Structure 1
Amino acid sequence: MIPPNGLLRIGTRTTPVALAQARHVQDLVVKTAPDIVTQIVGVDVPIDRRDGGFASSGGKDGFLREIDRRLLEGRVDIAVHSMKDVPGDVPLPEGTTFGAYLPREDVRDAVVFRSGSPWRSLADVPQGTTVGASSVRRAAQLLRLRPDLRVEQIQGDVAARLDRLDEQDHYAALVLARSGLERLGAGDRIREVLSHDVMCPPVGAGVTGLQCRVDDTTVVDLLYQIDDAVTRTHVTAERMLLHNLRGHGGSPIAAHCHTTPDGRLALRGMVFTRDGRHVVEASGRDDPDRPARLGTTVATELLRKGARALIDAAPRLGGLPRPWPGPARDRALRHRVGWR
């Protein structure tokens, strides 16, 4: 199981949360194959800074293009992704795949207040209070829950957002991913956890995906050993929904798949306008070996209800639109799990 050069290079973003995520991957690899020597390779792109991050134009696409290039050139052996950041409208580069999905972490969002705040939940917050959110998905659902709040975009990685919350008087609270706060060691800042019924998560929430080269059989075999089959099934359903909706970096899409007590798959999908006033929602169930069919079914119902207009109206993050494959290639690649 030892790579030919004796070294397994793990490519990752350089934000604190991403580096913590990569170290977790490193620990799993070492436990699975103790003889392998690992190295974390930080992939830093100019836009990926504490004052911009993935909410800025070019952030997501910049990192994805750079990590793809390094993976294809053999400069890294594994690329670590938060699957919620991987869009659904462009396929993976030819010759690469997601070799493993790690067990899913908590998908719920959490509410964090400024240090010293007397409030313990959103229900305590007065009308007109400014709350920060980094996505249309969060903003729309917050305004559905509390239309009297002032919800504004806040950019940067999690650490930067927490700093701005405490150092400025502008935001009274932030809504952030619970898993990211825990990974950063800031779980003690959480005052309220929002159920996924109240705040439907993004596609791939709480999931770490490990991308590798298809022809690198040593790495493929290694990742197979740490792949979580249940998570792969759930992510497949969610990402097939995203693919069929042609969701991009700014798409106001939320979806969550889980296994019901009777062993079936259940998928819920939602598409919003920025202000939360217009929402289309659909859900469905299917057999556990049919996640792709389930994702397609729920996406088709969302489109029937008018989701296309809401998605097209949303601003696209990450710069100029990337070309969409033609119908023939679309059909040929539809079976792939690794769409982005």
Structure 2
Amino acid sequence: MAMEQTGRFARALRLRHPDLELDIVEITSEGDQHRGPLAEIGGKGAFTRRADRYLLDGRVDATIACAKDLPGPHDRATGITVGAVLPREDVRDVLVLPAGHAPATLEQLPPGTRVATSAPRRAALLKALHPHLVPVPVRGNADTRLNALDAGTLGADAIIVALAGLRRLGLTDRVSRILDPAVWLPAAGAGIVVIEHRTDDPATAGLLAPVTHTPTRVLLDAERAALAALRGGCLTAASVHATLDEATGSLTVHAVVLDPAGGAPLRSVTTGPAADPAAVGHRAGVRLLDEGAARLLAVRP
């Protein structure tokens, strides 16, 4: 999946800089290698820590990541900044069942069905919306998890993954049900691929800037600002999803902090000018804090 993202970025960059020579360096993240809970390897930054070292050491000039896998802005490595953002893909999650299993919805799965996910957001949603199901933590990249699911070695009976990831892998035929994002809330940064560079590298910044999809950058900045206000990140049971009305220049941020135990979530909806997405996102996060979100953010499942 990472190489598909890299290929898309490389094509976009070559369109704007046809004479540019690219040297693609493969880096396997600690998060993809580790099979236990992310907390065992420090949690925050598990998917970016190694690439960050390559970047800050000067071994590469830019790195590529899914925005939803980045640590929260307050935990991001210093000296690194977003230089380009690719157009947002589908934000929805999907239910996947073992090969040969009849299609089913989450509601139709029998009580006690083990549903695999590595995301606290998804685990909290399962407990709140489908308490008859059992969230099971899993690790590994998407194709590895799907193979284990089919082989019966995953330790789970079903799995929830990102639709965008399955599309990148050409595996949309595995979807049993697409989950409604109005109910099954998407992750902050879902479907967004970001390219980062060293803050003190203006040459690379200049090369990357023309690749950015401006509307997606607005959405990303708003969602990341809300996370920053909550001091959250990819391991937080929360959802932040921004929408943009380009005709009116209006930006709306839907922010939700979930209860890891499955209780009632806290919600805020904030609207403001798209010209200042960070301010709109920040207000969305602060509103949740004012409503008591810190209590839920401190809870561990």
Q: Same fold, TM exceeding 0.5?
A: yes
Is residue 2:277 matched to residue 1:291?
yes
CA distance in structure 1 between the partners assigned to 2:257 and 2:168 by the alignment: 28
CA distance in structure 1 between the partners assigned to 2:177 and 2:234 by the alignment: 27
Q: 1:54 to 1:267 in 2, by over 3 A?
A: same
- The equivalent of 1:119 in structure 2 is 103
Q: Is the 8 A contact 1:48 1:59 kept in 2?
A: no
For 2:190, give the aligned amino acid: A
Q: By how many angstroms is 1:249 displaced?
A: 4.4
Q: Which moves more between the two structures, 132-141 or 39-48?
A: 39-48
- The equivalent of 2:191 in structure 1 is 206
For 1:223, give the aligned amino acid: L
- The equivalent of 2:93 in structure 1 is 109
Unpaired segments of 5 or more residues in structure 1?
A: 1-16, 316-340
Deviation by residue 1:76-135 (Cα, 9 ceiling, x = unmatched) = 0111111101121324423x3211111111111011111111133223322222211221
Q: Secondary structure at the match of 2:127?
A: helix
- The equivalent of 1:187 in structure 2 is 172
- The equivalent of 1:267 in structure 2 is 253
Q: Is the 8 A contact 1:237 1:292 kept in 2?
A: yes
Q: Is the 8 A contact 1:55 1:134 kept in 2?
A: no
Which 4+ residue blocks in structure 1 deviate beyond 6 angstroms? none
Q: Secondary structure at the match of 1:40?
A: coil
Q: Map 1:9-48 onto structure 2 (within 5 A).
A: 17-45=1-29, 48=32
CA distance in structure 2 between the partners assigned to 1:90 and 1:59 by the alignment: 11
TM-score by length of 2: 0.91
RMSD after superposition:
2.2
Q: Is the 8 A contact 1:109 1:201 kept in 2?
A: yes
Q: Secondary structure at the match of 2:41?
A: coil
Give the one of 227, 231, 251 matched to 2:216: 231
Q: Secondary structure at the match of 2:294?
A: helix
CA distance in structure 2 between the partners assigned to 1:197 and 1:186 by the alignment: 24
Q: Map 1:153-172 onto structure 2 (within 5 A).
A: 153-168=137-152, 170-172=155-157
- The equivalent of 1:151 in structure 2 is 135
- How many percent identity over aligned positions? 34
Q: 1:47 to 1:130 in 2, by over 3 A?
A: closer
Q: Which moves more between the two structures, 274-283 or 302-311?
A: 274-283
Q: Secondary structure at the match of 1:277?
A: coil
For 2:16, give the aligned amino acid: T
Q: 1:146 to 1:186 in 2, by over 3 A?
A: same
Q: By how many angstroms is 1:224 displaced?
A: 1.0
Q: By how many angstroms is 1:155 displaced?
A: 1.7
Unpaired segments of 5 or more residues in structure 2?
A: none
Q: Map 1:71-82 onto structure 2 (within 5 A).
A: 71-82=55-66
Q: Is the 8 A contact 1:132 1:173 kept in 2?
A: yes
